């Protein structure tokens, strides 16, 4: 399982940022845009229910594989 | 001193100087309020966040044969029918029929009134199901049809309480489990704090005494043009203020209205708040005319000059008890953490400053292009001197033979 971020659904409020223990989700102090750094994500999923707009979800490994295979 | 007429004349000639509230803060800091008032005509504000007291009046057009709807759902979400035959009111926080809500806690609240409104402005087809008891003039008893926003005669967004002037910062100080609130998921031990305001960009924080924002003010609403209809529900101008007039907690509110057909899904988004419910995120921008030096000074307010109360949502909020744990500024909130009782607490916003900036910039562009003029209020909304207060409900037993003073003429 891994967390996925759908930028199109994101309204850039940052509600997820305060839930993220690893800093994978951050808000840019100048533009206030939300950034998601996959490599830093521990997959704890705390951010997923914190998002009210469906911008954060969980992808199962099988789906991830299918996604990679196109 | 400038008048609305003079400013509108300059807008018409595309000569108006329009800046955002964030830009105005810097201008006043550099040049002073008097010079800023001379140079700047309009300051634009913006806010975007969940505003639960929102909804839309819909007129579907008469069916053949005619029908007076008494029960209706849109995509399974109940709408209020207690008005004229084919008028409905769909509230943003209405949940879909059959939604398990919090039976399996925390509930997901995947779809509700706010989402239907978003679907309509996206141009998506929605399903209207309705029932009626039938009358001689409205004999039809059932309806099941698809419709889009363009099919409706009218779709009037009417939000009784929007654009809160300041608001609480929520923490979980006492519960040993995460709590699920409209200010987000609050983890135990004050691990995080939730807040919801655009701070120095927020409309009513730039006109703290409602000098220019009143009944009839033309505004940016949901990506279209709307108006202030009235002071909003729970409008409470009497809360304590700092020396700059900025309220130290939730104070003024606005009832706003506008034609949904002119709005955009970019600024109206359905909200699913885990464990809480559904809502609608609304984008609002209000132009503040810089009539004089005082208005220039008001619109120069910065995040460091706006404080909000930190409230324990695990007990004090719902029990209407206790005192705020602290007052913190929006500058502190935006830094990513605040300090409460010696503890560093991470902060997260429910409102989007990025979107609020887009709104202030879009409104600025409309005014600069001469497409949007200012409307002077036809009536003020109550200010701090009005004596108006908002308080909790004082419950008492109902007695059928009780006081009748509220009935005109004492009639029964």
CATH code where residue A54 lies: 3.30.70.20
- Of all helices (H) and strands (E), which one includes residue A35? strand A34-36
Alpha carbons B24 and B32: distance in angstroms, whole number? 10
Decide: helix, strand or coil at residue B342: coil
**Touching check for B347 and chain A: CB below 8 Å?**
yes
Q: How far is CA B28 from CA B15, B59, B206, B295, B358, in A?
A: 20, 47, 13, 11, 22
∠ CA B79-B82-B86, nearest 5°, is 70
What's the token pair of residue B411? 């009639």
**DSSP codes, B225-291:** EEEEEEEPTT--TTS-B-TTS-BSSS---EEEEEEGGG--TTSEEEEEETTTEEEEEEEEE-EEE--
DSSP B162: E
DSSP B338: E
Structure confidence at residue B408 (pLDDT): 58
Helices (DSSP H) in A8-51: which residue ranges?
none
Complex prediction ipTM: 0.91
Alpha carbons B228 and B216: distance in angstroms, whole number? 5
- Of all helices (H) and strands (E), which one includes residue B113? helix B113-121
Does residue B106 have a cis peptide bond before it, meaning omega lies within 30 degrees of 0? yes
Closest CA of chain B from A34, distance in Å: 9
Question: pLDDT per position in chain B (412 positions), as tens?
Answer: 999 999 999 999 999 999 999 999 999 999 999 999 999 999 999 999 999 999 999 999 999 999 999 999 999 999 999 999 999 999 999 999 999 999 999 999 999 999 999 999 999 999 999 999 999 999 999 999 999 999 999 999 999 999 999 999 999 999 999 999 999 999 999 999 999 999 999 999 999 999 999 999 999 999 999 999 999 999 999 999 999 999 999 999 999 999 999 999 999 999 999 999 999 999 999 999 999 999 999 999 999 999 999 999 999 999 999 999 999 999 999 999 999 999 999 999 999 999 999 999 999 999 999 999 999 999 999 999 999 999 999 999 999 887 665 555 544 4
Q: Among all chains, which residue has been given the structure tokens 């490599």?
A: A39
Alpha carbons B145 and B122: distance in angstroms, whole number? 18
Alpha carbons B77 and B109: distance in angstroms, whole number? 12
Give B382: exposed, middle or buried? Use CB within 10 Å, 0-12, 13-18, 19+: middle
> Total structural domains in chain A?
1
Alpha carbons B42 and B35: distance in angstroms, whole number? 14
pTM of the complete model: 0.95
Tell me the sheet residues that pair with A25. Answer: A36
Pairs across A and B, CB distance < 8 A:
71
Q: Is B196 a catalytic residue?
A: no
CB-nearest partner of B351 from A13, A17, A50? A13
From the candidates A8, A10, A15, which should be mutated to test the interface with B, based on the most B CB atoms within 10 A?
A15
Whether B8 and B287 have beta carbons less than 8 Å apart is answered as no
CB-nearest partner of B185 from A17, A27, A50? A50
Its domain, for residue A51, covers 2-68
Alpha carbons B372 and B378: distance in angstroms, whole number? 18
Instruction: Tell which residue, B245, B228, B282, has the closest CA to residue B114.
Output: B282
Contacts of A33 in chain B (CB under 8 A): 354
How large is the C-alpha radius of gyration of chain B? Answer: 23
**Chain A, nearest residue to B272 by Cα:** A52
CA B80 to chain CA centroid, Å, is 21
Structure confidence at residue B8 (pLDDT): 98
Whether A4 and A59 have beta carbons less than 8 Å apart is answered as yes
From the candidates B105, B178, B352, B358, which should be mutated to test the interface with A, based on the most A CB atoms within 10 A?
B352
Structure confidence at residue B412 (pLDDT): 47
Structure confidence at residue A59 (pLDDT): 87
**DSSP codes, B372-406:** ------SBPPP-GGG-------------TTS--TT
């Amino acid at each position: 399982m891994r967390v996925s971020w759908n930028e199109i659904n994101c309204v850039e409020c940052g509600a997820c940022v305060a839930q993220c223990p690893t800093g994978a989700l951050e808000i840019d102090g100048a533009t206030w845009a939300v950034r998601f750094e996959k490599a830093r994500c521990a997959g704890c999923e705390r951010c997923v229910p914190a998002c009210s707009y469906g911008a954060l979800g969980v992808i199962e490994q099988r789906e991830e594989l299918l996604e990679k295979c196109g | 001193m400038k008048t609305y007429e003079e400013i509108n004349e300059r807008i018409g000639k595309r000569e108006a100087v329009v800046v955002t509230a964030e830009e105005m803060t810097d201008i006043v800091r550099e040049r002073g309020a008097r010079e800023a008032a001379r140079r700047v005509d309009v300051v634009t504000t913006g806010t975007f966040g969940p505003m639960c007291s929102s909804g839309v009046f819909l007129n579907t057009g008469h069916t053949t044969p005619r029908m007076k709807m008494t029960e209706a759902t849109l995509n399974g979400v109940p709408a209020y029918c207690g008005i004229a035959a084919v008028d409905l009111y769909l509230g943003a926080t209405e949940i879909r029929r059959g939604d398990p809500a919090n039976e399996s806690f925390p509930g997901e609240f995947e779809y509700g009134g706010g989402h239907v409104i978003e679907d309509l402005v996206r141009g998506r087809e929605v399903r209207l199901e309705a029932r009626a008891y039938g009358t001689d003039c409205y004999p039809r008893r059932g309806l099941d049809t698809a419709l889009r926003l363009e099919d409706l005669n009218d779709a009037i967004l009417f939000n009784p309480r929007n654009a809160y002037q300041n608001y609480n910062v929520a923490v979980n100080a006492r519960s040993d489990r995460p709590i699920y609130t409209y200010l987000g998921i609050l983890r135990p031990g004050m691990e995080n704090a939730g807040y919801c305001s655009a701070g120095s960009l927020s409309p009513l924080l730039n006109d703290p005494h409602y000098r220019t924002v009143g009944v009839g003010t033309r505004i940016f609403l949901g990506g279209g043009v709307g108006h202030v209809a009235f002071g909003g529900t729970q409008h409470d101008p009497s809360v304590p203020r700092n020396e700059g007039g900025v309220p130290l907690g939730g104070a003024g509110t606005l009832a706003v209205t506008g034609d949904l057909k002119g709005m955009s899904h970019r600024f109206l988004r359905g909200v699913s708040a885990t464990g809480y419910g559904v809502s609608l995120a609304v984008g609002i921008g209000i132009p503040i005319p810089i009539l004089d030096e005082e208005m220039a000074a008001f619109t120069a307010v910065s995040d460091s000059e706006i404080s909000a109360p930190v409230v324990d949502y695990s007990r004090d909020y719902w029990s209407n008890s206790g005192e705020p744990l602290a007052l913190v500024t929006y500058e502190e909130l935006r830094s990513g953490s605040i300090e409460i009782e010696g503890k560093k607490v991470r902060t997260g916003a429910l409102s989007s400053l990025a979107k609020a900036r887009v709104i202030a910039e879009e409104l600025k562009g409309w005014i600069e292009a001469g497409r949007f003029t200012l409307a002077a209020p036809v009536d003020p909304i109550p200010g701090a001197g009005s004596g108006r207060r908002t308080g909790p409900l004082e419950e008492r037993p109902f007695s059928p033979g009780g006081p009748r003073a509220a009935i005109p003429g004492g009639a029964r």
